[in-house]
Amino acid sequence: MKTKMYKTALISFILLIVNNLYAQIEQSDCNAVDTIMNKYMETSAQLSVRRIYEVKSADTIFVKLKQENIDSILTALIAIYNVQNIPERDTVIDIYNISSRGPGINKVYIKADTTKSWTDNWKNLITLTGDSLIDTILTKYHLSIDYYSEYSGTASFTSDLFLNIKVLVDTIEQHPDVIYAGQNQGYLDGPDIYYTSQADTQFVKYKYAWGDCMSGCMCSRFWEFKVYNDCSVEFIKSYGCVIQSVDKIKSNKYISIYPNPAKDFVNIKVNNNELSKISVIDISGKILKTENFNNNLKIETKEFEKGIYIFKIETNNEVITKRIVID
């Protein structure tokens, strides 16, 4: 009996060592410049809607989403965005730019009885109608009309708030003259982000999908990350259909970009005789510099502000992107 217990303990110990050897945990930061925070705020709001329904939270009764729920998810996404030395991060963010597919959080359409005079203002793209009940809802949730369809008799609205559209629709449909209300955004299959949490640990899964996604994507690949309470990030695993372009980039050894982080310059080296093009792109997507070169190039970075930049290299065979931090 003791021998069996010792063997079990030894196997558990070995497995623990193996798991630790292969664990890729990197320190990161949950803070970012406003442009990056704003970029991921909408995705965080979408994921927060899903989350409150998944865990059957009491927050499902509210129209306006709670900022603390959004911020919790936002910190995890920013930590993954900021992490260094995890190539899979570059795959899901720089190469495929994966974002959440929904649900909608700021758009709604309303079809009302057009024989009622208060609907005339919507036909002229005037938000407020003179009907106290409907105007109270529109004002409370910052809804402004942006389109009216004469054909269907529906008005479309957008809010600058993040909203639980399902509850908002239920609220609007209580008006006696409203025929129905609905969400203005579709939710077809495709690339997506999934979020869960357990105690002080958050889990983020990125999905890239392709192949007739209008009918349900034929192939998907997933990348899973774990974000700890101190904002450190661990890449867990990747699985699903093989993406040939990603495998090619991972195995490519003839292109190097260094140093990273950089200060005064960045060296780009291509170990072949191809004519290559380098583009330096800031976090807003603006191309700051483009140059053609053979084999080697030195990019001066003194003119750039501190921050994160994408270096995009195009050769005859492929396009490779690399995130460079300029310090």
The 10s digit of each residue's pLDDT in 280-308 is 888 777 888 888 888 888 888 888 888 88
Could you report the per-residue pLDDT of 109-139, keeping only the tens digit for each? 999 999 999 999 999 999 999 999 999 999 9
Q: What type of residue is 126?
A: I
- The answer to whether residues 69 and 142 touch, using CB atoms and an 8 Å cutoff, is no
Centroid of chain to Cα 307: 20
Judged by average pLDDT, the poorest of 5-9, 50-54, 81-85, 172-176 is 5-9
The model's pTM: 0.69
CA distance 296 to 292: 10
Mean pLDDT of the chain: 84
Res 17 pLDDT > 60: no
Between strands 178-183 and 107-112, the pairing is antiparallel
The owner of tokens 């140093």 is 259
Could you report the per-residue pLDDT of 19-64, keeping only the tens digit for each? 444 457 899 999 888 888 888 999 999 999 999 999 999 999 999 9
Which residues on neighbouring strands pair with residue 111, listed in sequence order? 154, 180
Res 163 pLDDT > 90: yes
Q: 281-301 burial string, b = 16+ CB within 10 Å, else e?
A: bebeeeeeeeeebeeebebeb
- Please choose, from the candidates 126, 186, 187, the residue with its C-alpha nearest in 3D space to the C-alpha of residue 157: 126
| Range among 53-62, 97-106, 147-156, 285-294 rated most confident | 53-62
- Provide mean pLDDT across the span 199-226: 88
The pLDDT value recorded for residue 250 is: 41
Domains and CATH numbers, the chain: 25-103+189-244 (no CATH), 107-183 (3.30.70), 252-326 (2.60.40.3080)
